[in-house]
């Protein structure tokens, strides 16, 4: 049998039945209460049936006032926990591990959501031509940082109660913990800024606090940037150092990705001119980081062919994370296990403006998620322009609904 379909034993004794993970994507498919409803249940049933050994949810927000986008899932208390339990049950229905990704956008907060943005420092997102889309952030006070850590802990406790088998703390892609790690967005001069030890403090304390509140068999994972791919930002040697810090904190798996809204390396585009591989973008970084890791390492980014997935596992990397490919064909793991050589064509938007190309690519992927959530076949060849316009209109409607919801709450 291929290494892809061998089980992976985690440090806490849990076992992932194979080496393919459905990595997190932002779906924007929450119900009217910003909880998982029929759409997400249908979508995740498709992935569960598809045969991935690990299913990681799209980011679940720890604060209703801070969403990465409208129609995002929020988990602050147990009021709607039955819906989360139904979600977890669907994810686990074919034997996969089911982990909830927990997150906070920090400064990457859309202005249309009408909420104040918070970050390590008052430094706004800087995307040429798109600056006005994001709220101007203010720096978090120390007491607010402590409160945020507790929000992550509460979300993890609730995820365990709901029946998820683990959580993944999102510290990549330019979201809050990634902002703390990067010297470009963290200019603090207190215990939360300056040296890498200080910049990593919020992540490390959050992981420690979660581990102290959940069962030893409940998995605690971290998603980490290999680099920001912006000059002067978080770099590969910083990622290695952070992983060494996590080695001492009972982390069960680290997922390596890269980039942010400003430099969308997770879509194969960078701001610093770096050249990324056409597939398995971050494999070289992940192999370097895995050499420093006491826990298994997973790499995500651009993988869409079985031979590439198998190549990833020939070195020190233990798991393959797939996102866009499983948005196009959720049954790809099962097809590979059955001996099919199925692959997914890349979604490429050859526009000169990288920010708009990134937004269009993301819009095409989100369209596939919507189709899957409706039980319909995917259509990745949709026009990028039509996908982008459609997503913008949908986002505008969802943003208005969100503002009403959060005001009433």
- Is residue 408 included in any domain, yes or no? no
Residue-level length of the chain: 409
- Is residue 54 included in any domain, yes or no? yes
> Which DSSP category does 253 fall into?
E
- Is residue 240 included in any domain, yes or no? yes
- pLDDT of res. 277: 47
Token code pair at residue 10: 């985690």
Element (H, E) at 333: helix 332-337
- Is residue 202 included in any domain, yes or no? yes
For residue 322, the cross-strand partners are 22
Give the Å distances, CA to CA, from 330 to 56, 101, 278, 382: 13, 19, 21, 18
Give 203's Cβ-side CA count (13 Å radius): 32
The rounded distance, in Å, linking the Cα atoms of 52 and 263 is: 29
Rama region for 377: left / alpha / beta (φ>0; ψ in -120 to 50; rest): beta
- Is residue 132 included in any domain, yes or no? yes
- Is residue 406 included in any domain, yes or no? no
Give the Å distances, CA to CA, from 336 to 5, 20, 268: 9, 11, 24
**Domain housing 236:** 3-347
For residue 278, the SS3 value is coil
pTM attached to this predicted model: 0.94
Token code pair at residue 125: 């997102």
Cβ pair 271, 225 in contact under 8 A: no
Instruction: Output the tens digit of pLDDT for each of the chain's 409 residues.
Output: 579 999 999 999 999 999 999 999 999 999 999 999 999 999 999 999 999 999 999 999 999 999 999 999 999 999 999 999 999 999 999 999 999 999 999 999 999 999 999 999 999 998 777 778 899 999 999 999 999 999 999 999 999 999 999 999 999 989 999 999 999 999 999 999 999 999 999 999 999 999 999 999 999 999 999 877 677 778 889 999 999 999 999 999 999 987 667 655 454 544 434 434 455 667 888 899 999 999 999 998 889 999 999 999 999 999 999 999 999 999 999 999 999 988 898 898 989 887 788 889 999 999 999 999 999 999 999 999 999 999 999 999 999 999 999 999 7
The rounded distance, in Å, linking the Cα atoms of 292 and 46 is: 35
Q: Specify the CATH number for the domain of residue 13.
A: 3.20.20.70
For residue 73, the cross-strand partners are 60
- Is residue 398 included in any domain, yes or no? no
> Which DSSP category does 73 fall into?
E
Say which residue the tokens 């020939």 belong to.
314
Give 348's Cβ-side CA count (13 Å radius): 7
Task: Report the alpha-carbon angle 311-258-242, nearest 5.
Answer: 95
- Is residue 388 included in any domain, yes or no? no
Token code pair at residue 84: 């989360």
Say which residue the tokens 């959720």 belong to.
330
Q: What's the domain count of the chain?
A: 1
The rounded distance, in Å, linking the Cα atoms of 258 and 265 is: 6
For residue 340, the SS3 value is coil
């Amino acid at each position: 049998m291929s290494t892809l379909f061998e089980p992976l034993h985690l440090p806490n004794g849990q076992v992932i039945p194979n080496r393919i993970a459905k990595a997190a994507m932002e779906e924007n498919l929450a119900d009217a209460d910003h909880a998982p409803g029929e759409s997400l249940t249908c979508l995740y049933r498709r992935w569960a049936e598809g045969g991935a050994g690990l299913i990681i949810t799209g980011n679940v927000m720890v604060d209703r006032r801070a969403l990465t986008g409208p129609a995002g899932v929020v988990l602050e208390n147990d009021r709607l926990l039955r819906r989360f339990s139904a979600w977890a049950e669907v994810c686990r229905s074919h034997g996969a591990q089911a982990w909830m990704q927990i997150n906070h956008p920090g400064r990457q907060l859309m202005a249309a959501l009408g909420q104040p943005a918070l970050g390590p420092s008052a430094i706004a997102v800087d995307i040429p031509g798109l600056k006005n889309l994001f709220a101007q952030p203010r720096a978090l006070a120390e007491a607010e940082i402590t409160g945020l850590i507790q929000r992550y802990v509460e979300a993890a406790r609730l995820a365990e109660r709901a029946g998820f088998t683990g959580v993944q703390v999102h510290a990549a892609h330019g979201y809050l913990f990634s902002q703390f790690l990067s010297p470009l967005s963290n200019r603090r001069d207190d215990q939360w800024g300056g040296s890498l030890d200080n910049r990593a403090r919020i992540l490390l304390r959050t992981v420690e606090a979660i581990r102290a509140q959940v069962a030893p068999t409940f998995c605690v994972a971290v998603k980490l940037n290999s680099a920001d791919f912006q000059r002067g930002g978080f770099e590969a040697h910083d990622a290695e150092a952070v992983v060494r810090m996590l080695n001492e904190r009972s982390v069960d798996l680290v997922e390596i990705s890269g980039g942010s809204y400003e430099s969308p390396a997770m879509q194969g585009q960078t701001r610093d001119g770096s050249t990324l591989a056409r597939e398995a973008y971050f494999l070289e970084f992940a192999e370097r980081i895995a050499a420093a890791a006491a826990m298994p390492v997973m790499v995500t980014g651009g993988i869409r062919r079985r031979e590439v997935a198998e190549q990833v596992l020939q070195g020190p990397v233990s798991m393959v994370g797939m996102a866009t490919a499983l948005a196009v064909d959720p049954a790809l793991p099962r097809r590979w296990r059955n001996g099919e050589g199925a692959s997914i064509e890349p979604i490429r938007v050859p526009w000169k403006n990288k920010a708009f190309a990134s937004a269009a690519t993301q819009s095409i992927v989100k369209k596939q998620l919507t189709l899957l959530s409706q039980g319909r076949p995917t259509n990745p060849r949709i026009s990028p322009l039509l996908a982008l316009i459609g997503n913008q209109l949908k986002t505008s409607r969802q943003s208005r609904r969100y503002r009403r919801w959060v005001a009433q709450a």
